[in-house]
Structure 1
C-alpha cells in the first residue's frame, strides 16, 4: 500500500482591526504580516520539495484568507489550487460580532453556551471532524494517484477544524479550552498514512518568529 502525508495548514494573519469573529464571512483578507506568513509557509514547502518531498496536490478552503495563503504555495510548488468547501471554517452563532468576551456577560447569549462540549453555539465538533477527514481522504487518494508512494498534499484551512481533526486523530476528546489549541497562524499539522491507515501526526510552525504581536482572533 502507498504511504502518503496530508499537511493541514492554517491561514495567515487576517486584517481585522475591529477584532470581528469573522467565521465564514467573505472578504477578510490577509494583513501585510499575514502575507509574510503565507510566503514563509510557501518557503517551508519549497524547501521540503527541494529535499525530495513529493508534493503533488494543493487544496484550499474557499474563504478569502485561505485562498490568499494558498496562492504563494501554489506559485512555489507550481500547482493549481483545488477548492473544497469541506475544509471551511466552522459555523458559529457569534459570527460577525466583536468584543465576544463582553457579549458573553449578556444574558441574551447565555442559551448559546448551554453545552460547550458540543458546542451549542456552533457546528458540532464531530461534524467538523467528519467533513475534514472526508476531504483528507479524498486528497490522500488524489495525491497517490498523481504521485504514487510517499505522495503529499497540502490543505489550507482554519484553526478550529484543523485542531479538532488533530484531536480526533490522536484519539483525544474533542471538547477543549480554545486557549490551549496548538494551531498557530500558518502552522502545519501533518497526518501520515500507510494506505488508508493513519499512522502518525506531526506539527510544525514555519512562522514561529512572526507570531509575537500577531492578531489572533479565531474565526470560531
Structure 2
C-alpha cells in the first residue's frame, strides 16, 4: 500500500464580536482576517503542488467556518469540497454561552463539570478521536486511489477534534489543559502514513503565522 499524508487544517478566525462559544451553531462566518488566513493557506498548498506535491482530496466539516476556509484551496487546486460530518466540532453543553469562566462556573452548570477527564460537559475525547481517525482513514485511502504513492488529503476541521486526534495518534492521554493545545487558527496537523497504513509521524506547522498576532480565538469547544 502506498504512503500518504492527511493534513488536519483548523479553520480561520471567526467573526464573533460577542465572544460566544459557537460550537456547532450555524452561520458563524470567517472574519476578514479569517478569509485572509484561508487565502494564505490556499497559496501555501498551491506552492507545494507547484513543487511536486500531489494534493488530490479536500474534505471539510459541514460548519460554515470550515467550508469557507476550504473554499480558496478548492479554487486554487481545482478540487471539489467533500463535506464530512465526522470531522465536525465537538458537542458542548456550553454552546451558545459567552466564553468566560464566570459563565461556565455558575452553580447551574456545576453538574456538567463533574468529570473534566471525559469531559462531562461535552463529547468524550475518545469519541472525537475515533470519529476523526475513521474519517482520516477514508481520506487516506481516497487520496491514494486518486494520486498514488505520496498522495495527500486535506481535512478542514476544528481545534478540539484535531487536538484529540493528535494526542491519540501520538499515544498520549486525551485529557488535557485546553490552554495548552498546539493548534492555532489555520494550523496544519499532518498525519504521515507508511505503506502499511500506520501513522509514523505527526508534523505541525503554521503557514499563516504572520496573521496570528491579534487574532481572536474563542474556542468552539
TM-score class, shorter-chain normalisation, is over 0.9
Which stretches in structure 2 are left out of the alignment for 5+ residues? none
How far 1:37 moved relative to its partner? Answer: 0.3
CA RMSD of aligned residues (A): 0.7
1:10 corresponds in structure 2 to 10
2:157 corresponds in structure 1 to 157
2:203 corresponds in structure 1 to 202
Choose 133-142 or 188-197, whichever is displaced more.
188-197
Q: C-alpha deviations, 1:2-48, integer Å up to 9, x for none?
A: 00000000000000000000000000000000000000111111111
Runs of 4+ in structure 1 over 6 Å off: none
Give SS of 1:160's match: helix
How far 1:106 moved relative to its partner? Answer: 1.2
Give SS of 1:28's match: coil
Choose 151-160 or 104-113, whichever is displaced more.
104-113
Q: Does 1:76 align with 2:76?
A: yes
1:120 corresponds in structure 2 to 120
1:40 corresponds in structure 2 to 40
2:178 corresponds in structure 1 to 178
Which stretches in structure 1 are left out of the alignment for 5+ residues? none
Give SS of 1:144's match: helix
Choose 102-111 or 57-66, whichever is displaced more.
102-111
How far 1:194 moved relative to its partner? Answer: 1.1
The 8 Å contact of residues 128 and 164 in structure 2, kept in 1 or not, is answered as: yes
Taking structure 1 as reference, are residues 171 and 99 closer, same or farther at Cα in structure 2, changes over 3 Å only? Answer: closer
Question: Matches of 1:160 and 1:100 in 2, distance apart?
Answer: 18
Q: Does 1:28 align with 2:16?
A: no
Q: Does 1:138 align with 2:113?
A: no
Question: Matches of 1:203 and 1:80 in 2, distance apart?
Answer: 25
Question: Matches of 2:38 and 2:166 in 1, distance apart?
Answer: 21
How far 1:108 moved relative to its partner? Answer: 1.1
Give SS of 1:126's match: helix
1:85 corresponds in structure 2 to 85
How far 1:100 moved relative to its partner? Answer: 2.9
After TM superposition, the score normalised by the length of structure 2 is: 0.98
After TM superposition, the score normalised by the length of structure 1 is: 0.99
